[in-house]
């Protein structure tokens, strides 16, 4: 693969048997757009067939963060119309997420800085996920009327206890001590050693986990450890109303702080996200989860709450969204059922043919 132009938003090249992908849209905190997802997919597919590529390394240019998410402005503008462009983006992004999930060659993601939304989608499937003291992880979608997509329905319910439910509903931000303790990230390496780590990963392309193990240090005590019992107890319910009631009944400062946070989120998004996680927990394949999230994505971006959330948080920045429906009891089960309903068969999301083959092979072996 030839060396890309410096202005490319994705830098993809091979170095000593390592396929390297660098997110290169620093002014937008590397927010993913359709072209970036397409370029990453093309590179991964090319390296899949290349016996000279032994592993993949994903990182970012600059120091502001790994990836703040997807191109929310584009998605909102599309959702205000027929959502065709948004659906095209989701279809491509989710195919990339799935390809990474089933990829047979080890992927290392270095999440040095902000990693949210779409950034989680292109790092969480990696076998080796390296955090630094600058890492800030969150799935903040309920605050903009969305839901934790890009595989959140699969990854979050598989975190310890009910921590995934808590993260999905509150949008809580975690630093490396918590992300490593919860296995969101596999290793902690100080930021000052990241360049040295990358050099070693390229020098030893065959076993990135062993390389990361050599560099890994103790991330320190995890603040959420003090609240694990409360999280597992208070977020274990299958309705948002029960979670609200449990937090209020508990009455501790921490529980009431979580309740206050939840009360600021979109009631519709809270109900969608909780059902997404409870459904995702019972699915047998990542592809099934992505099909569910694709159904949701194309519909939710057209709702009032997503449009209003983007206006309040991203465009006008007044942080005062007027949610509609404005209360949990006004968000009916019928409404949620409609958002989750299957699409007509030709419109359903499907994985890339190469990725579907990889998934079948791993299941059969």
Positions marked active-site: 70, 118, 141, 149
Distance CA 96, CA 167 (A): 23
Q: Is 175 helix (H, G, I), strand (E, B) or coil?
A: coil
Is 165 in contact with 319 (CB distance < 8 Å)? no
Let me know: does 134 contact 191? Beta carbons within 8 Å. Answer: yes
Tell me the C-alpha distance between 327 and 288, whole Å: 30
Give the separation between CA 129 and CA 235, rounded to whole angstroms. 26
H/E stretch holding 67:
strand 65-67
Alpha-carbon span 278 to 271, nearest angstrom: 11
Cβ atoms of 50 and 101 within 8 Å: the answer is no
- Element at 114 (helix H, strand E): strand 114-116
Nearest to 341 by CA among 299, 282, 303: 299
């Amino acid at each position: 693969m030839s060396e890309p132009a410096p202005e490319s938003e994705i830098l993809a090249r091979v170095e000593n048997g390592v396929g390297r992908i660098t997110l290169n849209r620093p002014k937008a905190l590397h927010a993913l757009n359709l072209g970036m997802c397409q370029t990453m997919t093309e590179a991964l597919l090319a390296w899949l067939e290349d016996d000279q590529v032994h592993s993949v390394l994903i990182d970012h240019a600059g120091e502001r963060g790994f990836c703040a998410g997807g191109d929310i402005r584009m998605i909102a503008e599309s959702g205000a119309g027929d959502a065709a462009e948004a659906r095209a983006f989701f279809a491509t992004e989710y195919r990339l997420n799935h390809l990474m999930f089933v990829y047979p060659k080890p992927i290392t993601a270095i999440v040095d800085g902000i990693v949210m939304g779409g950034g989680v989608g292109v790092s969480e499937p990696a076998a080796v996920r390296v955090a630094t003291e600058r890492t800030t992880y969150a799935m903040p979608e309920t605050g903009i009327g969305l839901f934790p997509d890009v595989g959140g329905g699969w990854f979050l319910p598989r975190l310890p206890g009910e921590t995934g439910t808590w993260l999905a509903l509150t949008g809580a931000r975690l630093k490396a001590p918590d992300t490593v303790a919860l296995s969101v990230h596999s290793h902690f390496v100080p930021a000052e050693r990241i360049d040295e780590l990358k050099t070693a990963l390229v020098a030893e392309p065959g076993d990135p986990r062993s390389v990361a193990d050599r560099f890994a240090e103790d991330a320190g005590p995890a603040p959420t450890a003090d609240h694990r019992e409360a999280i597992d107890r208070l977020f274990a319910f299958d309705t948002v109303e029960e979670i609200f009631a449990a937090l209020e009944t508990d009455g501790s400062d921490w529980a009431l702080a979580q309740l206050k946070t939840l009360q600021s989120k979109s009631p519709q998004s809270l109900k969608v996200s909780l059902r997404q996680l409870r459904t995702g927990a019972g699915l047998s394949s990542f592809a099934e989860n992505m099909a569910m999230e694709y159904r949701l994505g194309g519909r939710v971006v057209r709702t009032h709450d997503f449009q209003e959330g983007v206006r309040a948080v991203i465009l006008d920045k007044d942080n005062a969204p007027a949610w509609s429906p404005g209360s949990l009891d006004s968000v009916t089960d019928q409404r949620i059922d409609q958002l989750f309903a299957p699409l007509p068969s030709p419109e359903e999301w499907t994985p890339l043919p190469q990725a579907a083959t990889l998934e079948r092979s791993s299941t059969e072996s």
